[in-house]
Amino acid sequence: MQMSHQEQKWLVLLYSLIKLDGGSQRKTVLKHIQENGYWYKNDQNDICRTTRNEKVWRNDFSFERQHLVANGYMCNGEHGLWKITEAGKEYVRALSQRLQNISFGDSTYFTAMFYQKFFQTEIQPEFTADQLLLEQLSQAEDSQDEFLTVLSDKPMPKGLVSNRSGNKNIYLRDPAVARRALIRAGYRCEIDTAHTSFLRKNSSHLYMEPHHLIPMSMTDYFGVSLYREQNIFSLCSNCHNQIHYGTKEDVRRLISKLFLSREQEICSILGRYITLEEIYQIYKAA
């Protein structure tokens, strides 16, 4: 199911008003959209100016406001306040149903950051998910099970990947995929191979933890399986904790190091180009 350019603009604008406690001045609303990176920018809509010397995307949102008022989704508040109405909130709820089944592609104009914020997906549960995988991996290794160790490019079947529960997706993971990623890194930390760890019991290699560079919670947004060994990095415990709990500066340093070392592979599994800046925003480290 597709959502039109205009519907996406309405959704972003109305959602921003909700976030701003129902309404605010025009410049505050546009600043909110800008600072949270909700809307795509390119040379045509960001660099180019209208005849009134305004950025095109800003002008577009102001224009849509008139349509939203005409439809009863917004009203004119005092002192030119942009305000959402009850009907507007209802409309956002209706669009959110459709957003769950949207197919992403060239005609998606809101960004990954918007989608993520809309569904309140956080990086924190992602760490819990990594830990769960680590546990499965440990149990499997401890029981000395034989794993498939051939490097494979095969994604997991789509049906196996996600289980919907409410708005949150729970992804089933096959520990063999993560194990292949660790083998590929030679059981070394991919931030710095000199980072120390300890020898894992019942094995001849160092203990390392798997980390998904593009969070699993973004699976629906990108519309591809992110549970791929190309997206999984081997990290020492210290680096892994830092990437989830460190300062913005440190998170950016670690992310850029990982991404630049595997940029082409990451873009190829996503099926599109992604910038470092977009990944920083996903990690809330922009």
Nearest approach in angstroms of CB 128 to Zn ion is 10
Q: How far is the CB of 191 from Zn ion (least distance, A)?
A: 4
CB of 142 to Zn ion, least distance (A): 21
Per-residue binding string, Zn ion, 83-102, x by CB under 5 A, is: --------------------
Binds Zn ion (CB under 5 A): choice among 11, 12, 185, 189: 189
Residue 217 CB, shortest distance to Zn ion, in Å, is: 12
CA distance to 24, 167, 211, per residue, from 250 (Å): 34, 31, 16
The binder of Zn ion chosen from 191, 208, 226, 255 (CB under 5 A): 191
Helix ranges (DSSP H) in the chain? 5-19, 26-35, 56-70, 86-99, 112-118, 123-142, 158-161, 175-184, 219-222, 237-245, 248-261, 263-270, 276-282
Minimal distance, residue 195 CB to Zn ion, in Å:
4
Distance CA 126, CA 132 (A): 10
Residue 257 near Zn ion by CB under 5 A: no
Binding mask 134-173 for Zn ion (x = CB under 5 A): ----------------------------------------
Burial class (CB in 10 A: 0-12, 13-18, 19+), 237: middle
- When binding is defined by CB under 5 A, the residue of 12, 38, 130, 161 that contacts Zn ion is 130
Q: Check residue 253 for interaction with Zn ion (CB under 5 A).
A: no
Instruction: Quote the DSSP letter at residue 206.
Output: B
Q: Are 269 and 226 in contact (CB under 8 A)?
A: yes
What is the C-alpha separation between 189 and 207, in angstroms, rounded? 10
Stretch that binds Zn ion, among 30-38, 75-83, 108-116, 193-201 (CB under 5 A): 193-201
Cα angle 103-165-110, degrees, rounded to a multiple of 5: 30
Question: What is the nearest approach in angstroms of Zn ion to the Cβ of residue 233?
Answer: 9
Kindly state the smallest distance separating residue 131's Cβ from Zn ion, in Å.
8
| Distance of alpha carbon 110 from alpha carbon 9, whole angstroms | 8
> Is residue 218 within the footprint of Zn ion (CB under 5 A)?
no
For residue 259, the minimal CB distance to Zn ion (Å) is 14
Q: Which of 55, 15, 54 is nearest to 38 (CA)?
A: 15
By beta-carbon proximity to Zn ion, the closer residue of 84 and 239 is 239
Chain residues 233-252 in contact with Zn ion, contact rule CB under 5 A: 236, 239
User: Pick from 215, 223, 218: which is nearest to 2 by CA?
Assistant: 223
Give 113 or 239: the residue with its C-beta nearer to Zn ion: 239
Stretch that binds Zn ion, among 36-44, 62-70, 115-123, 130-138 (CB under 5 A): 130-138
Q: Which amino acid is at 139?
A: Q
Q: How many CA atoms lie within 13 A of 208 on its CB side?
A: 28
By beta-carbon proximity to Zn ion, the closer residue of 191 and 255 is 191
User: Which chain residues interact with Zn ion by CB under 5 A?
Assistant: 130, 189, 191, 195, 211, 236, 239
